[in-house]
Amino acid sequence: MQLPSHSHKNRFLIPFFGLTVVLLVSLAPPTSSCTEQEKSSLIKFLSGLWKDGGLTVSWRSDTDCCSWEGITCSLNRAVTDVSLASQGLEGSISPFLGNLTSLLRLNLSRNSLSGGLPLELVSSSSIIVLDVSFNRLTGGLHKLPSSTPARPLQVLNISSNLLTGPFPSTIWKTMNNLIALNASNNRFTGAIPTYFCNGSPSLVVLELSFNKLSGSIPPGLGGCSMLTVLRGGYNNLSGTLPDELSNATSLECLSFPNNYLQGVLDSACIFSLRNLRTIDLGGNYFNGRIPDSVGQLKRLEKFQLGHNNLS
C-alpha cells in the first residue's frame, strides 16, 4: 500500500467559483460625487500602501472619489464597489474600508498585500462579496462577539494567502447568507467546523483544499442541501467518509485526495449522490471493494481512487 504524499503540496491556481460572483455582480451607474467620509476612508486605505500601483494619480483629494480608478458609486452618492485586482498593490488592508457603509463588493485579489484581514471587513453590515485571494495575508481569522447579528456576506474568497489558525465558530454562526467560501491554499489548522450548514443553509461551494486541517469530515455537511462543490484535499483529515453525506444530493464535486481517510466506501451513499460529476478520493487509506453503484452515476466525468487499498 502506497502512503499518500504530503510533501509536494504544490501551490497552484485553484479555480474559484466565478459563476457565483458573476451572478452577484450588478453594474451601478456613476454619480456626481461621494461623501467626505467615504473619501477619507479611501484615502486612509491608500496611505497604508507602500506601493499603490499608480492610484495616487487618480485618487486625488480634490476630485470626486466616484471618478477614481476602481471605484463605483450608486445614484445616491455612496461607494458600492472597490475593484482593485491585479494592481500591484503592496502594504496592509486598512480597516477604514469598513467605514464604507454602502460597500457591496470589495475585490483586492492578486496583489501583494500583507498583514491581517481586518475584522471590520468580515463583519461588515453591507459587503456581500469579499475577495482578497492571492495575496500575502497572515495571521488568523478574528472572533466575532457572540451578540453579532447575521451578516450579509455571500461570497468570501480568502484563498492563496498565508493565513493560519482555526476557523472561529463565531464567524460562521453569523454567516447566514454565505453561498461560497474558498479558504484553500492557506495554513489553516484544526477541524472543519461542524456548523457550516446550520449557520449557512444556502452554502453552495466549500473549498478547503491545501491547508493543515485535521480531524474527521463533519457529518453535518450532509445537511447542506444546496452544496454543490465540496473540496478538502491535501490536508491531514482522518476517519471515514460519513454516511450523512448521502443527504447532500446536490453535490457535483466530492474531492478529498491526499488525506488519511479510511474505511469502506458505502455503495448506498455513493448511489444517493446521483449528481456527482467528480469523485476524487485518491491517496487515502480506503479499503474493500469499489462500489458497484459508481457505474450508475450517469453524470460522472472524473473518477479518481488511486493510491488506496481498494479491490
What residue ranges in 62-174 does DSSP mark as E strands?
Answer: 71-73, 79-83, 90-92, 105-107, 112-115, 129-131, 136-139, 155-157, 162-165
CB 266 within 8 A of CB 240: no
Q: Where are the domains of the chain?
A: 19-190
SS3 at position 268: helix
Can you give the pLDDT at residue 285?
Answer: 97
What is d(CA 52, CA 28) in angstroms, rounded to the nearest whole number? 25
130 CB-near residues (< 8 Å, 6+ apart): 106, 121, 122, 124, 153, 155, 156, 157
pTM: 0.88
Superfamily of chain region 19-190: Ribonuclease Inhibitor (3.80.10.10)
Torsion-angle region of 208 (φ positive above 0: left; ψ -120 to 50: alpha; else: beta):
alpha
The CA distance from 88 to 149, in Å, is: 35
Q: Would you write out the chain's pLDDT as a tens digit for each of its 311 residues?
A: 444 444 444 444 445 554 444 444 444 444 357 899 999 999 999 999 999 999 999 999 999 999 999 999 999 889 999 999 999 999 999 999 999 999 999 999 999 999 999 999 999 999 999 999 999 999 999 888 878 888 999 999 999 999 999 988 778 888 889 999 999 999 999 999 887 777 678 899 999 999 999 999 999 999 888 999 999 999 999 999 999 999 999 999 999 999 999 999 998 888 899 999 999 999 999 999 998 889 999 999 999 999 999 98
Of the candidates 196, 192, 191, which has an alpha carbon nearest to the alpha carbon of residue 226? 196
